[in-house]
Amino acid sequence: MSKAMEPDLQTPLGRASGQASKEWRHPSDNWLRGFILDNRAALGTLGVFIVMMAAFMIANPTVFTTWYLYSSVLTTLPVALFVVVPLVFVVTCGEIDLSFPATMGFASWVFALVVQAGYDPFLGIAAAILTGTLLGFLVGSLVVYGGLSSLIATLGMNFLLRGLIQIINEGKSTALTGLSDSWAYAIFSSQVWGIPVQIFWAIAFVVFSALLYNRHRFGAQVKVVGDNPDSAKQMGIDVKRVRVKVFVFVGIGAAIAGTFSVMINFTWWPTAGDGYLLPVLASVFVGGTPTWGGIGTVVGGAIGAVTVSFIQTGVVAAGLSGFYVQFFNGLIIILSLLGHKWNQARYR
Amino acid sequence: MGERIIELRDIKKSYGQVYALGGVNLSVDRGEVVGLIGDNGAGKSTLIKILSGVVRPTSGEILVRGEPVTGWSAARSRDAGIETVFQDRALAVQQTIVRNIFMGRELTGFLGWLKVNKEIEEASRLMREIGFTSKVFTPHSIVGQLSGGERQGVAIARAIYKQAELIILDEPTTALSLTETAKVFHFVRQVRASGRSILFIGHNIHHVFDIADRFVVLDRGKVALTADRSEVKSAEDLINFMEDVAHPGGLPGLHEGAEAEQRA
């Protein structure tokens, strides 16, 4: 076919170039409106967080203006962030992963073993991430190639892996006394200008993942697969491979999270990661990622994690007894879901 | 007519005990519009799925430009220059127009990072080319907000992006308004004029008759008729033929009715 045979596709209703391109130029009337439309779920989550913090401030101004409160939240929050963000990918892909607490425990166990054996903690981190990758691949393959429901299969894997840890360790923990002198600790778990350094790594991870989600082929395919797997398949996307990849991503995130949690405490417990299951899941949905797949927000999920972390600290610091924590957790989740439902339409 | 774009030889497809296709031969040459018609259950959808690589045949041979293919898949089909506009349009409705046009074919640069601006530019150009422009929607619009005809436009824009040599249109005029149907017809004629080929699958025999150079009638998994345009005088001929195939003995009253219509 010669160039001369090219179709004269310029003629139909729209004129080829010139004025038509101007009409098509901008996503919205102005950049601010476009920005708000593109990020309405994340902005909604931010709104919830600000209102909640304002309520805490009013309830107890003295506690909420002390740095110590924020410092303690900033130490533990990164652990949650490293799993909340990959879970946004999983939920967007139309799946769920409940096995990450056990993956956190398993990967950090490998880290503890390597460090205890006298190797450099960097090697331990590498081994932990490798473990997380393999476990993520295992869980993902089981769900995708086994054709199992991810809700049930990952719940099963969570029990199975945790059981393995408990059987082998018989409930004993591992103390890592030499860790605080290592380079790895200084880089990943110390403080700079009084700020826990973990939060910088977590922020870097969130930014990288947000780019991966919005500006990378992986994110684009995850969204399409979650939106309409049949169409994705018809357009030549390897749907199964994309699904396995999101589970691998969770495995990696869980491994980093587990390692960070061990470095905070200098001790590995056989229950490491267990407490994160519900707060992390809540963070994803409080953050504005809907349950039905296809869309989501990484930044929203991160803000959701911040919100959830502050509920517990905030309720206690505001002078209420610990018995109120669960009640407020539930309240925030329900209010957020109602807000997001009103905030975003579902297209079919 | 020149080069043979694709050829199916003795394609069979069975689902368990049920044969959806029982040995189909079909070919499409460069620059021709082939109209594929058949009743519900004739095997049209299965045939399209095989051509687009979504389903693999149980047996038979697929030749692309004379070369037999191995490892046929949706990705391979698209790489071979075959694009399909599916009946359900195969769109991800919560995503933007850009994301749908580049579904499975993202424009990426270094390490798989998207060339966002290039994608927007190309999407705008494509939508303009096929005449689906509007002040109401932009490349960033969510497909779920578009009308049926506009969604069809997105699906067609996606199909023409890589200068596909064969475009399969599966029931492209179903549920479209008259002007939107006219747009689709216009598009088909443009593609033919450019020397590329179309496989047009239609329920509406009049639509197929208006547009196709060659007709293939599928019946219960087999090709019942292949006819050039010159051999078929009117759409009614095709309708009569299909009735004959469907009811070999003839249904009492049915034929008289059709003949009476023709006489009138």
- Interface ipTM: 0.85
What residues of chain B, 212 to 251, have a C-beta less than 8 Å from chain A? none
Which chain B residue lies closest to A294 (C-alpha atoms)?
B94
pLDDT at B229: 83
Distance from CA of A117 to the nearest CA of B (A): 37
| B86: chain A residues, CB-CB within 8 Å | 231, 234
Which residues of chain B are in CATH 3.40.50.300 domains? 1-81+175-230
Give the E-state strand segments of chain B in sequence order.
Answer: 4-15, 18-29, 33-38, 59-64, 67-68, 82-85, 166-170, 197-201, 214-219, 222-228
With an 8 Å Cβ cutoff, are A234 and B93 in contact? no
B131 → closest Cβ in A12, A26, A218: A12
Q: How many CB atoms are closer than 10 A to CB A184?
A: 18
pLDDT at B251: 53
Number of domains in chain A: 1
Distances (CA, A) of A174 to A117, A271, A296: 11, 11, 38
**H or E element, residue B188:** helix B178-193
| B94: chain A residues, CB-CB within 8 Å | 223, 227, 294-295, 346-347
Homologous superfamily of B1-81+175-230: P-loop containing nucleotide triphosphate hydrolases (3.40.50.300)
Average pLDDT over chain B reads: 85
Q: At residue B124, does pLDDT exceed 70?
A: yes
Q: How many CB atoms are closer than 10 A to CB A226?
A: 27
Distance from CA of B247 to the nearest CA of A (A): 35
* pLDDT tens per residue across span A117-158: 888 889 999 999 999 999 999 999 999 999 999 999 999 999
Question: Does some domain include residue A298?
Answer: yes
With an 8 Å Cβ cutoff, are A223 and B92 in contact? yes
- What range defines the domain where residue A303 resides? 44-337
Q: Residue B233: which pLDDT band, with cuts at 50, 70 and 90?
A: confident
Angstrom distance (rounded) from CA B56 to CA B149: 31
A220 → closest Cβ in B76, B106, B135: B106
Q: What is the mean pLDDT of each run of 10 residues along chain A (348 residues)?
A: 39 37 49 76 88 85 81 87 96 95 95 90 93 96 93 94 92 83 79 85 95 95 95 94 96 95 89 90 92 92 92 80 84 87 77
Per-residue pLDDT, averaged over B174-190, amounts to 85
Per-residue pLDDT, averaged over B23-41, amounts to 89
A236 → closest Cβ in B74, B116, B187: B74
B194 → closest Cβ in A7, A232, A233: A7
Per-residue pLDDT, averaged over B175-201, amounts to 87
Q: Residue B248: which pLDDT band, with cuts at 50, 70 and 90?
A: low
Could you tell me if B94 lies within 8 Å of chain A, comparing CB atoms? yes
CB B168 within 8 A of CB B83: yes
Question: Does some domain include residue A26?
Answer: no
| A347: chain B residues, CB-CB within 8 Å | 93-94, 142-145
Residue B143: what residue type?
A: V
The residue with tokens 């995708």 is A144
Average pLDDT over chain A reads: 85
- Best mutation target, B84, B88, B103, B117, to test chain A (most A CBs within 10 A): B103
Q: How many CB atoms are closer than 10 A to CB A31?
A: 10
The residue with tokens 């905070």 is A264
Question: Does some domain include residue A177?
Answer: yes
A228 → closest Cβ in B92, B186, B187: B92
With an 8 Å Cβ cutoff, are B128 and A21 in contact? yes
Question: B172 — phi, psi (to 5°)?
Answer: -70, -15
The DSSP line for A37-84 is: HHTHHHHHHHHHHHHHHHHHHHH-HHHHT-HHHHHHHHHHHHHHHHHH
Question: Does some domain include residue A12?
Answer: no
- The CATH number linked to A78 is 1.10.3470
Q: Residue B249: which pLDDT band, with cuts at 50, 70 and 90?
A: low
Question: Does some domain include residue A18?
Answer: no
pLDDT at B258: 46
With an 8 Å Cβ cutoff, are A217 and B108 in contact? yes
Calculate what percentage of chain B has a pLDDT beyond 90: 31
Of residues B142 and A8, more confidently modeled:
B142
Question: Does some domain include residue A1?
Answer: no
Which chain A residue lies closest to B144 (C-alpha atoms)?
A347
With an 8 Å Cβ cutoff, are A1 and B186 in contact? no
CB A92 within 8 A of CB A220: no
| Cα-trace Rg, chain A | 23
The DSSP line for A197-236 is: THHHHHHHHHHHHHHHHHHBHHHHHHHHHHH-HHHHHHTT
| B131: chain A residues, CB-CB within 8 Å | 12-14
pLDDT at A253: 97
Distance from CA of B190 to the nearest CA of A (A): 6
pLDDT at A22: 43
With an 8 Å Cβ cutoff, are A24 and B124 in contact? yes
